């Protein structure tokens, strides 16, 4: 940073000498017809320009290092922050919005590096050359200052209009990002449904809106630039008239007039740069506001979670828990009370939308009860460090994510080092061994984003292997085998029986084969507990569970 400012001062000092050299050529060299003096001055100018070029090269290299470090730090801090936000926020389709906020970092970084240096350089040059201009002519100096103030005032008039346009453009760019990602990720379904034109038209509508906003922005910029040009040229013409008049009346020499013109050019440049910097600062400020909106969000793990509990010998208790997804909506769960005993398997069953996935998300801390309490060995889940709690859970969700990584890397997600012995054991338990033979590099085969290249069944078994690899005390399965054929499901369930022994297991499922051996079955209906018991107990009651099983098997169990 010191070298940068040293270069700034050196560059200004070199530029400062140029008008005096120009004056010397005219007033001394030409007037006295001293050719050798003129050559000497021109050589001096050449040397100064070469020095100025070297200073600029060094300055740009230093700026590159500074901007890279700033950009890295900003994006790193942003990613660190969003990884601390509540998981439920990412169910709102924020992908395009977040990507655009990351893109906004570039505007902030640009202003903090080149923009801020430009401001310092321009201010220094403006003060320096204005001082020299006042030495030549106080009247010209005052006209220059007055014209510059009018110029900057004209630029400030457009700030509010630009702010509104920038906010509108951000929304459109976020939607553009979302549309493009949607097309890329959903290409197969788009092609299968013949929706190419529909999706393209939706994208084109966003582009049309962006074009209209860009036209409005261009209109504002052109009006601003046209006004700035007229103000600057009027100021320059007046100054040229006064300088020429002063030469005619013998107040200054022709060399001094040329020097004034040179100084005027050097002083005008910082003023124009400052007007551009005001626009750049405004853009950076708007971007920083949007980035700061994310940093102002409350982290998922707060100071109100002092207990660091990792699931071990864990009993989970729900006490009159209700949950709704919005304040005005219907309860997804209504006053649910039950206990999940440690070391046992508890199954959650019921029709689609009855609240099974909601219950699992509540246990994981993804959702927070609207009413009631969830206790972990008598301690409120709200008081437990959510990150540590989840690290002790093996979770297989319906929409589990497979990363663009090796199969081994996906299974050992969250672990710095991969234990290949554990990897192979997890693969055998999840019935993936035969599939590994089909992949060219086995467990080191790279799978595509979101599991591209894997069948739905392979993807689901990979997610099961990931949960097994963690060897947690608490397992949560949300329709973990719904993409598997009967044979694979049977093999996995048999393999899991020994793996899950003495573990606390929570299973949300429809299939009878998945829940029949559970120690406790909780039957949900419209967000409430309809009945609880073992498979045989519930069948004997011939209640809602009986009807669910009867519907699934398409035969009357009674017969």
| Summary count for the chain: helices (H), strands (E) | 19, 10
- Structure confidence at residue 92 (pLDDT): 65
**What's the pLDDT tens digit per position in 151-195?**
888 888 888 888 889 888 888 888 888 888 888 877 877 888 888
**Distance between CA 246 and CA 261 in Å, rounded?**
13
DSSP state of 30: I
Residue listed under structure tokens 């590159």: 64
Using left for φ > 0, alpha for ψ between -120 and 50, and beta otherwise, residue 472 falls in beta
225-233: long-range pairs with CB below 8 Å, 24+: 227/154, 228/151, 228/154, 228/155, 228/272, 228/275, 231/147, 231/150, 231/151, 231/154, 232/147, 232/151, 232/268, 232/271, 232/272
- Structure confidence at residue 193 (pLDDT): 80
Residues of the chain with CATH 1.20.1560.10: 1-296
3-6: long-range pairs with CB below 8 Å, 24+: 3/58, 3/62, 4/59, 4/62, 4/63, 4/66, 4/117, 5/120
Across 136-172, b (16+ Cβ under 10 Å) vs e yields bbeebbebbbebbeebeebbeebeeebeebbebbbeb
- Structure confidence at residue 56 (pLDDT): 73
Residues of the chain with CATH 3.40.50.300: 316-401+473-557
Homologous superfamily of the 316-401+473-557 domain (CATH) = P-loop containing nucleotide triphosphate hydrolases (3.40.50.300)
**Distance between CA 273 and CA 179 in Å, rounded?**
37
The series of mean pLDDT values per 10 residues for the chain, 559 residues long, is: 57 61 67 72 75 74 76 84 81 74 80 71 75 79 87 86 87 86 81 85 90 92 89 86 83 76 77 79 83 84 62 81 81 89 89 86 88 88 84 86 88 88 90 84 82 81 90 86 74 81 86 82 90 89 85 54
**What's the pLDDT tens digit per position in 202-245?**
889 999 999 999 999 999 989 988 998 898 888 888 888 888 88
Find, among 364, 347, 365, the residue nearest to 356 by Cα: 347
CA atoms 90, 93, 94, 99: torsion sign: positive
Kindly state the helix (H) or strand (E) to which residue 101 belongs, with its residue range: helix 95-110
Structure tokens at 418: 């991969």
- Structure confidence at residue 16 (pLDDT): 60
Q: Topology of 1-296 in CATH?
A: ABC transporter transmembrane region fold (1.20.1560)
Across-strand partners of 345? 505
DSSP for 230-277, written as a single string: HHHHHHHHHHHHHHHHHHHTTSS-HHHHHHHHHHHHHHHHHHHHHHHH
What three-state secondary structure class fits 375?
Answer: strand
Structure tokens at 345: 């398997």
Find, among 348, 349, 398, 338, the residue nearest to 548 by Cα: 349
- Structure confidence at residue 1 (pLDDT): 53
Residue listed under structure tokens 């292997």: 465
Structure tokens at 407: 């199969």
Return all residues near 15 (Cβ < 8 A) that are at least 6 apart. 52, 125, 266
């Amino acid at each position: 940073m010191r070298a940068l400012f040293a270069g700034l001062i050196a560059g200004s000092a070199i530029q400062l000498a140029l008008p005096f050299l120009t004056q010397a050529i005219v007033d001394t060299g030409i007037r006295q017809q001293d050719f050798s003096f003129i050559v000497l001055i021109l050589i001096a100018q050449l040397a100064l320009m070469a020095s100025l070029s070297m200073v600029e090269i060094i300055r740009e290299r230093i700026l590159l290092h500074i901007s890279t470090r700033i950009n890295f730090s900003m994006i790193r801090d942003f990613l660190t922050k969003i990884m601390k936000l509540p998981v439920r926020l990412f169910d709102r389709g924020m992908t395009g919005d977040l990507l655009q906020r990351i893109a906004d970092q570039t505007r902030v970084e640009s202003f903090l590096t080149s923009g801020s240096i430009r401001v310092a350089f321009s201010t220094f040059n403006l003060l320096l050359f204005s001082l020299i201009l006042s030495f030549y002519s106080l009247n010209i100096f005052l006209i220059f200052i007055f014209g510059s103030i009018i110029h900057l005032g004209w630029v400030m008039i457009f700030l509010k209009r630009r702010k509104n346009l920038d906010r509108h453009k951000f929304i459109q760019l976020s939607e553009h990002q979302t549309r493009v990602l949607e097309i890329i990720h959903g290409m197969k379904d788009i092609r299968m449904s013949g929706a190419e034109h529909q999706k393209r038209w939706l994208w084109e509508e966003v582009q049309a809106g962006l074009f209209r906003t860009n036209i409005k922005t261009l209109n504002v910029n052109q009006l601003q630039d046209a006004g700035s040009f007229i103000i600057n040229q009027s100021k320059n013409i007046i100054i040229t008239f006064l300088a020429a008049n002063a030469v005619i009346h013998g107040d200054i020499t022709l060399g001094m007039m040329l020097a004034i013109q040179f100084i005027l050019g050097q002083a005008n440049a910082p003023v124009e740069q400052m007007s551009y910097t005001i626009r750049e600062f405004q853009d950076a400020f708007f971007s920083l506001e949007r980035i700061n909106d994310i940093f102002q969000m409350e982290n998922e793990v707060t100071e109100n979670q002092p207990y660091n509990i990792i699931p071990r010998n864990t009993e989970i208790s729900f006490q009159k828990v209700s949950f709704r997804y919005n304040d005005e909506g219907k309860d997804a769960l209504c006053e649910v009370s039950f206990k999940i005993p440690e070391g046992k398997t508890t199954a959650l069953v019921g029709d689609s939308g009855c609240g099974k996935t909601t219950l699992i998300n509540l246990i994981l801390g993804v959702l927070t009860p609207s009413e009631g309490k969830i206790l972990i060995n008598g301690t409120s889940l709200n008081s437990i460090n959510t990150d540590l709690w989840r690290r002790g859970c093996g979770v297989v969700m319906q929409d589990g994510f497979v990363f663009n990584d090796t199969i081994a890397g996906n299974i050992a997600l969250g672990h710095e080092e991969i234990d290949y012995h554990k990897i192979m054991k997890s693969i055998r338990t999840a019935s993936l061994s035969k599939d590994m033979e089909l992949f060219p590099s086995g467990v080191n085969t790279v799978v595509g984003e979101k599991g591209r290249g894997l069948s739905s069944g392979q993807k689901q078994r990979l997610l099961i292997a990931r949960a097994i690899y963690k060897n947690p005390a608490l397992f949560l399965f949300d329709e973990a085998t719904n993409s598997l054929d009967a044979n694979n499901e049977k093999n996995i369930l048999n393999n899991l029986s020994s793996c899950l022994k003495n573990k606390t297991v929570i299973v949300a499922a429809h299939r009878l084969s998945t829940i029949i051996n559970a120690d406790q079955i909780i039957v949900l209906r419209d967000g409430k507990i309809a009945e609880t018991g073992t498979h045989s107990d519930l069948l004997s009651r011939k209640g809602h569970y009986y009807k669910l099983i009867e519907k699934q098997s398409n035969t009357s169990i009674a017969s």
